[in-house]
């Protein structure tokens, strides 16, 4: 077999292993080792695996993963999510479908201090959905809004997916964070427009009844008291990062300490809870770093086989062209999102697609934002739809079906598609902040 045939067989083999249930990290390591051994020999494969483990995980930058994960978990247990929703509910409850818009804004702010979509889905399914149902919104719409706006957690910085992409694409984490701001604001705005359109043109989808309970009118002093910790943490992390006071790892450390202070101040953290958070942080970190290691080995095996070079020549010929490749890539990401989780999609696709995108002359930061938006659409699409299943498991409602949540999230999948087209047509939305 030629090197190209071995590389192609490795891709097919990886897909087959995932199909039979093998964990993606182990599958990548296995096919990569066999691929390098067949292209060269066993000794080279062993030495390359050792070098990859050392090169992939010795970087100081990787400390950002556990720090931002810990910050997100601490923020979740401290009740900041509920306070964020209360603030925007007070500000927007008189607007048409105001609670839906409040949920979007609250998710956007919560995303800026957590970076994990699943955390947002868990928190707001318990906070926003009961409140919206109490005020006459349909359960389908309420859960759909939470599912849709939860994806902001992986786009608005700090974001775990943006960190993973930056590592795999060898881009600056700080630049990726800056690039996520414009698209995050755009996606929030498109979600709000979608909610307003539904409220005016499909009111039966949004509202269930008109005899609703009155809103609790909390004073502006209470609103300020709730918002100060949120604003302080945002200024500490994002202000420190973009102001040049912290690098990404230091910003993660400062954010984790700030979140710990908030949790202790609110007396929402005992020894057992804190220990459980540390254990969960370790588990998430190890799984992410192991996947990065496996993806790096897979990428080097593919480079050795020549598959990315051949794909670049095929996709960049006149018959298809750079944008033909981009459309095919984004559609494939959306399809994969229906079947496997976000990080797995990136780890499988990026080692293959990045060399092609680079050869096409695409800005890899812009390319990364498009990738993350498409990957996040997979959180809302059946049959996988991780955010949808998270909401279903977090809700104490036996009558609610998964299908109902999927139907509620469908308009927001359409909104994400519109935002994706805008981002493709206007790359500066993603890149202008990185060039200041």
DSSP string over 162-189: HHHHHHHHT--HHHHHHHHHHHHHHHHH
Q: Is 32 helix (H, G, I), strand (E, B) or coil?
A: helix
DSSP string over 331-356: HHHHHHHTTS-HHHHHHHHHHHHHHH
Alpha carbon distance 252, 241 (integer Å): 9
pLDDT value for 345: 81
Q: What is the pLDDT of residues 228-246, one digit of tens each?
A: 887 888 888 878 877 778 8
- pLDDT classification of 368: cutoffs 50, 70, 90: very high
Residue 73 in this model has a pLDDT that exceeds 90:
no
Q: What is the pLDDT of residues 159-218, one digit of tens each?
A: 878 888 888 888 888 888 889 889 999 999 999 999 999 988 888 888 876 555 555 566
Element at 399 (helix H, strand E): none
**Highest-pLDDT range among 1-5, 354-358, 423-427:** 423-427
Q: Could you say which DSSP state residue 202 is in?
A: -
pLDDT value for 312: 73
Alpha carbon distance 49, 43 (integer Å): 10
Our measurement of the distance from residue 300's CA atom to the centroid of its chain's CA atoms, rounded to an integer in Å, reads: 25
Q: Mean pLDDT over residues 302-311, rounded?
A: 77
Q: Crossing angle for the helix pair 139-150 and 386-394, nearest 10 degrees? A: 130
Alpha carbon distance 78, 114 (integer Å): 12
- pLDDT classification of 60: cutoffs 50, 70, 90: low
**List of residues 6+ apart from 344 with CB closer than 8 A:** 18, 24, 291
Alpha carbon distance 372, 314 (integer Å): 25
**List of residues 6+ apart from 302 with CB closer than 8 A:** 7, 10, 11, 308, 351, 352
- pLDDT classification of 425: cutoffs 50, 70, 90: very high
Q: Is 391 helix (H, G, I), strand (E, B) or coil?
A: helix
- pLDDT classification of 390: cutoffs 50, 70, 90: confident
Q: What is the pLDDT of residues 8-30, one digit of tens each?
A: 888 888 878 877 878 777 888 88
Residue 420: CB atoms within 10 Å:
21
């Amino acid at each position: 077999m030629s090197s190209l045939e071995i590389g192609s067989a490795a891709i097919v083999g990886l897909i087959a292993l995932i199909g039979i249930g093998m964990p993606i990290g182990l599958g990548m390591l296995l096919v990569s080792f066999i691929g390098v051994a067949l292209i060269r020999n066993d000794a080279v494969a062993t030495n390359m695996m050792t070098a990859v483990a050392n090169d992939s995980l010795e970087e100081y930058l990787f400390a950002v993963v556990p720090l931002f994960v810990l910050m997100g978990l601490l923020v979740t247990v401290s009740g900041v999510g509920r306070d964020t929703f209360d603030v925007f509910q007070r500000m927007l409850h008189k607007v048409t479908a105001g609670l839906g818009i409040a949920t979007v804004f609250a998710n956007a702010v919560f995303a800026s201090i957590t970076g994990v979509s699943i955390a947002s889905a868990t928190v707001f399914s318990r906070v926003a959905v009961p409140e919206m149902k109490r005020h006459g919104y349909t359960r389908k719409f309420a859960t759909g809004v939470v599912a849709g706006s939860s994806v902001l957690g992986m786009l608005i910085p700090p974001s775990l997916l943006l960190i993973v992409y930056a590592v795999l694409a060898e881009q600056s984490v700080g630049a990726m964070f800056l690039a996520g701001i414009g698209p995050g604001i755009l996606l929030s705005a498109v979600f709000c427009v979608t909610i307003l359109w539904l409220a005016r043109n499909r009111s039966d989808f949004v509202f269930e009844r008109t005899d609703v309970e009155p809103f609790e009118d909390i004073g502006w002093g209470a609103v300020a008291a709730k918002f100060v910790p949120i604003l302080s943490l945002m200024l500490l992390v994002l202000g420190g990062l973009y102001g040049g006071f912290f690098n990404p790892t230091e910003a993660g450390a400062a954010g984790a300490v700030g979140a710990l202070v908030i949790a202790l101040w609110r007396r929402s953290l005992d020894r057992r809870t804190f220990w459980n958070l540390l254990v969960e942080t370790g588990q998430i970190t190890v799984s992410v770093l192991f996947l990065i290691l496996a993806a790096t080995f897979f990428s080097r095996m593919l480079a050795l086989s020549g598959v990315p070079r051949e794909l670049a020549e095929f996709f960049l010929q006149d018959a298809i062209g750079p944008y033909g490749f981009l459309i095919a890539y984004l559609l494939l990401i959306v399809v994969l999102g229906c079947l496997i989780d976000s990080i797995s999609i990136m780890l499988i696709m990026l080692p293959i697609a990045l060399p092609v995108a680079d050869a096409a002359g695409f800005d890899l930061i812009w390319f990364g934002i498009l990738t993350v938006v498409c990957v996040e659409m997979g959180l809302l699409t059946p049959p996988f739809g991780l955010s949808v299943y998270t909401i279903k498991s977090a809700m104490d409602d036996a009558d609610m079906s998964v299908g109902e949540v999927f139907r509620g999230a469908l308009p927001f999948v359409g909104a994400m598609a519109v935002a994706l087209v805008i981002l493709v047509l206007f790359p500066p939305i993603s890149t202008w902040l990185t060039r200041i």
